[in-house]
Amino acid sequence: MKSFINVEDLGPLDKAMAEAFEIKNDRFKYQHLGKNKTLMMIFFNNSLRTRLSTQKAAMNLGMNVIVLDVNAGAWKLETERGVIMDGDKSEHLLEAIPVMGCYCDLIGVRSFAGLTDREYDYAETVLQQFIKYSGRPVFAMETATVHPLQAFADLITIEEHKVVERPKVVLTWAPHCRALPQAVPNSFAQWMNAAPDVDLVITHPEGYELDPKFVGNAVVEYDQKKAFEGADFIYAKNWSNPGVTNPADYGKITSKDMSWTVDTEHMSWTNNGKFMHCLPVRRNLIVTDDVIESPNSLVIPEAANREISCSVVIKRMLEAL
Ligand code: CP
């Protein structure tokens, strides 16, 4: 596997899931694969879970790990071609990337959407430059439009906690004080669509439609209560306006409707549904204290499964070196 961005990159999902459970049973089974190999994790944005779980997965596989926080100690990087570099950016990504590639065998990249230029973000400009110029396999650690390591962990978590063969899974928008990217809901929708035994419903205020290529065959329901009825899993997430229905709204907050916050009344509409969120989460905006602290909250097992999803991805990349 030369790059990991979308669900198709893993090949058949049932095989990837079987590998995930094999690794969960024996995390060090493939430790020989990473001997004398180095992972470089490059962060243009903050992280807690991705940073820790990816490093842990790489260590389980016997790798050495280098972490670069671009905004803390590296030269400030220019990412666009054609710019006269007479500002505060001392180095261009187009030199920095191949240099980074000299020091490692695999690269993980975190680079969020700027949320000002939809075309630039949805072209995955920074990630694609890493793929083109690093000479190394590259995996997304949340990029402008996708967060596949999270969605893979979410699918593992649903598989572990489902009590019916074909669960109803609801992706719900919830309010937030800052404009957030669409990467998590995009990938979640993509992976749930690819899963053979999931009924996916997406609910959000009108105008917040996700890109159709991620929505796929999901049912879109603007009435949050109707969407929640009979749900087995509630996956809450805020996202800024994707600019699908009105391009001028891209990256903006066009609703702060607090009636969408997931509280105990919302959860009472479900089929004893489990609550999920990728974290970090702002309590009492996205979800109330009571719901996230309830026995039906899966936010911690979900985060724990990040180590497993990443282990599968790194294992596949090491096997293909
Ligand atoms: N869910 C997730 O990616 O968390 P971090 O942003 O802390 O890495």
- pLDDT at position 321, please? 97
Structure tokens at 114: 């700027």
SS3 call for 119: helix
Would the annotation count 282 as a binding residue?
Answer: yes
Out of 3.30.160.270, 3.30.420.40, 3.40.50.2300, 3.40.50.1370, select the CATH number for domain 3-146+306-320.
Answer: 3.40.50.1370
Q: Largest Cα–Cα distance of the chain, in whole Å? A: 60
Would the annotation count 150 as a binding residue?
Answer: yes
Tokens 């087995």 -> residue: 232
- pLDDT at position 79, please? 86
DSSP string, 157-172: HHHHH-SSSS-EEEEE
Distance in Å, CA 148 to ligand 1 centroid: 12
Ligand 1 first shell, C-beta below 6 A: 47-50, 142, 150, 278-280
Distance, CA of 285 to CA of 289 (rounded, Å): 10
Structure tokens at 168: 């109803």
Distance, CA of 137 to CA of 63 (rounded, Å): 15
What residues does 40 pair with on adjacent strands? Answer: 66, 107
If you classify domain 150-302 with CATH, what class do you get?
A: alpha beta
Structure tokens at 311: 């282990």
SS3 call for 53: helix
Distance, CA of 231 to CA of 121 (rounded, Å): 32
Domain ranges of the chain: 3-146+306-320, 150-302
SS3 call for 276: strand
Q: Is 316 left (phi over 0), alpha (psi -120 to 50) or beta?
A: alpha
Q: Could you check whether 3-146+306-320 and 150-302 share the same CATH topology?
A: yes
Would the annotation count 182 as a binding residue?
Answer: no
Structure tokens at 16: 């990837």
Question: Contact 105/35 with Cβ under 8 angstroms?
Answer: no
Tokens 């053979």 -> residue: 196
Distance in Å, CA 147 to ligand 1 centroid: 9
- For residues 195-207, one letter each, b for 16 or more C-beta atoms within 10 angstroms of the residue's C-beta and e for the rest, the string is beebbbbbbbbeb
Distance in Å, CA 249 to ligand 1 centroid: 25
* Ligand 1 atom at shortest distance from the alpha carbon of 46: 6
Report which residue type is found at 264: T
Q: Please give the chain's pLDDT, 321 residues, in tens.
A: 999 999 999 999 999 999 999 999 999 999 999 999 999 999 999 999 999 999 999 999 999 999 999 989 889 999 888 999 999 999 999 999 999 999 999 999 999 999 999 999 999 999 999 999 999 999 999 999 999 999 999 999 999 999 999 999 999 999 999 999 999 999 999 999 999 999 999 999 999 999 999 999 999 999 999 999 999 999 999 999 999 999 999 999 999 999 999 999 999 999 999 999 999 999 999 999 999 999 999 999 999 999 999 999 999 999 999
Neighbours of 166 (CB within 10 A): 12
CA dihedral over 190, 194, 197, 201, signed as positive or negative: positive
Tokens 């991805």 -> residue: 313
CA distances from 125 to 110, 121, 144, 228 (A): 12, 7, 9, 36
Would the annotation count 149 as a binding residue?
Answer: yes
Distance, CA of 184 to CA of 180 (rounded, Å): 10
Would the annotation count 176 as a binding residue?
Answer: yes
Distance, CA of 144 to CA of 53 (rounded, Å): 20
Distance in Å, CA 49 to ligand 1 centroid: 5
Closest CA to ligand 1's atom 6: 47
Distance in Å, CA 215 to ligand 1 centroid: 22
Q: What is the pTM of this model?
A: 0.97
